Copies of this chain bind each other. A is one copy, B any other.
Amino acid sequence: MLQIDMLSKVPVYEQIISQIERLIMLGVLREGDKIPSVRSLALQLSINPNTIQKAVSIMDQRGIIMSASGRGCFVRPGACEVIKQERRQQLGTLKEQLSELKLAGITAAELHAFIDELYSEGVDENDRNQGNK
């Protein structure tokens, strides 16, 4: 279900979070759905349970999931909205990066083309997403 890249610099717990968020945005995990248990994920990904637990507690705190002790974790109603809001805040970070690329001589046209390409390729993904809106 999840795939962890051990050669990435991105912390494992962040990889877990963003992948689960992605599954939610894609509609694979819907609001109210149960999330695999910490122990099963730890076994399955051969990762330290503490790492999974960290991801879970962060998502819990952000309002993306709710963990009911003894019963497991569930996607919280409204999780999609929370995630969308998070991501919009990332636009600020994006701005700094783009201004560096601008200095590097990358033209606006190049970026526009880049975006169009990105948005045209994964149309099917977007469609699946509609169901979760």
Extra 18 A-B pairs, beta carbons < 8 Å, given A11-B70, A95-B118: A6-B74, A9-B68, A25-B103, A25-B104, A25-B105, A61-B61, A83-B104, A87-B103, A90-B101, A97-B97, A98-B115, A102-B119, A102-B126, A103-B125, A103-B129, A108-B115, A112-B112, A115-B115
**Copies of this chain:** 4
Closest-by-CB residue of B relative to A6 is B71
How many A residues face the partner with a CB closer than 8 A?
51
- Within the complex, what minimum Cβ distance (angstroms) separates A89 from chain B? 10
Whether A108 contacts B101 by the Cβ 8 Å rule is: no
Kindly state whether residue A44 has any CB partner on chain B within 8 Å.
Answer: no
| Residue among A69, A106, A115 with max Cβ neighbours from chain B (10 Å) | A115
Whether A11 contacts B87 by the Cβ 8 Å rule is: no
**1/0 per residue A57-99: CB within 8 Å of B?**
0100100001011110010110000011011101100110111
Which of B8, B86, B90, B126 is the one whose CB lies under 8 Å from A68? B8
Kindly state whether residue A43 has any CB partner on chain B within 8 Å.
Answer: no
